[in-house]
């Protein structure tokens, strides 16, 4: 079993466990990396991992999703594609929630791009989902990829729990019961073993507390090292109860300083 397959298996076990406990027909477990393919197959090495709690978007039980979550956010575009093309891409967006993440990481030096900027990944997704996505649909995005394709620093989003539930309180209710912590800990270990990220940013307060408790001997910290990987602890960058703008600045200054040291 490859490291990627091991992650998929672990994620599915956790998702099924939550599904059995919650027994809610309107939600279901999500595929590993929110339906992204194997990053190592595309020679993506040492990305930055942004870790959330769980996927929040729910499938429509009647029609399902029109397509996989192809894009997280379309950057602001000037004189690159038409307003009509820009609007056509919106139907492939997961959520504008990720806009702040991407804007912040792209300001770092070197800039960090979201994973969907990788041309081969985009081609793979289009091929696997041709009944939903046509080349004409995605043509405007190729303009963006052509502009960014030389940047090999990638940002990838994943979650501790691969189970779709909008109300995070429901996830937190079961996160520490019935053997789930052991499964989640094993999944986190398999995740970092597969991805080998250069750093991790916990973008959820509950996840930050969980990592402190389980991987930092319950010692409070703003960041800590685990298996030679720096883990930065934060709360949500956007949405309700989000980190304020100055706290974001301090966080990304700290990340920039760390990247500068690692590259020196």
DSSP 93: B
Per-residue pLDDT at 49: 93
Dihedral sign, CA of 227, 229, 230, 231? Answer: negative
DSSP 71: B
- Collect all residues with Cβ–Cβ distance below 8 Å to 165 and sequence separation of at least 6: 18, 22, 24, 27, 54, 55, 56, 58, 171
Is domain 3-263 classified as CATH 3.40.470.10? yes
Q: Is 203 helix (H, G, I), strand (E, B) or coil?
A: strand
Low-confidence ranges of the chain (pLDDT < 50): 34, 58-69, 72, 78
- The residue behind tokens 């956007």 is 238
Per-residue pLDDT at 167: 79
Dihedral (C-alpha) 49, 156, 247, 233: value to the nearest 10 degrees?
-20
């Amino acid at each position: 079993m490859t490291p990627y397959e091991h992650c998929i298996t672990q994620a599915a076990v956790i998702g099924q466990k939550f599904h059995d406990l919650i027994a809610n027909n309107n939600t279901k477990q999500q595929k590993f990396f929110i339906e992204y393919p194997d990053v190592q197959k595309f020679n993506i090495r040492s990305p930055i991992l942004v870790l959330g709690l769980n996927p929040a978007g729910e499938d429509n039980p009647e029609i399902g999703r029109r397509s996989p979550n192809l894009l997280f956010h379309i950057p602001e575009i000037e004189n690159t594609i038409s307003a009509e093309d820009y609007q056509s891409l919106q139907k492939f967006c997961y959520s504008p929630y990720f806009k702040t993440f991407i804007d912040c990481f792209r300001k770092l030096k070197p800039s960090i791009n979201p994973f969907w900027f990788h041309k081969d990944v985009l081609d793979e997704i289009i091929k696997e989902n041709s009944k939903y996505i046509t080349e004409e649909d995605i043509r405007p995005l190729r303009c963006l990829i052509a502009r960014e394709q030389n940047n090999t620093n990638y940002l990838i989003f994943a979650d501790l729990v691969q189970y779709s539930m909008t109300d995070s309180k429901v996830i937190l209710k079961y996160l520490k019961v019935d053997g789930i912590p052991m499964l989640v800990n094993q999944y986190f270990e398999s995740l970092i073993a597969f991805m080998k990220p250069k750093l991790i940013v916990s973008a959820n307060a509950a996840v930050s507390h969980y990592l402190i408790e389980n991987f930092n001997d319950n010692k409070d910290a703003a960041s800590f090292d685990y298996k030679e990987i720096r883990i930065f602890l934060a709360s949500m960058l956007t949405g309700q109860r989000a980190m304020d703008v100055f706290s974001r600045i301090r966080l990304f200054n700290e990340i920039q300083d760390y990247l500068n040291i690692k590259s020196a």
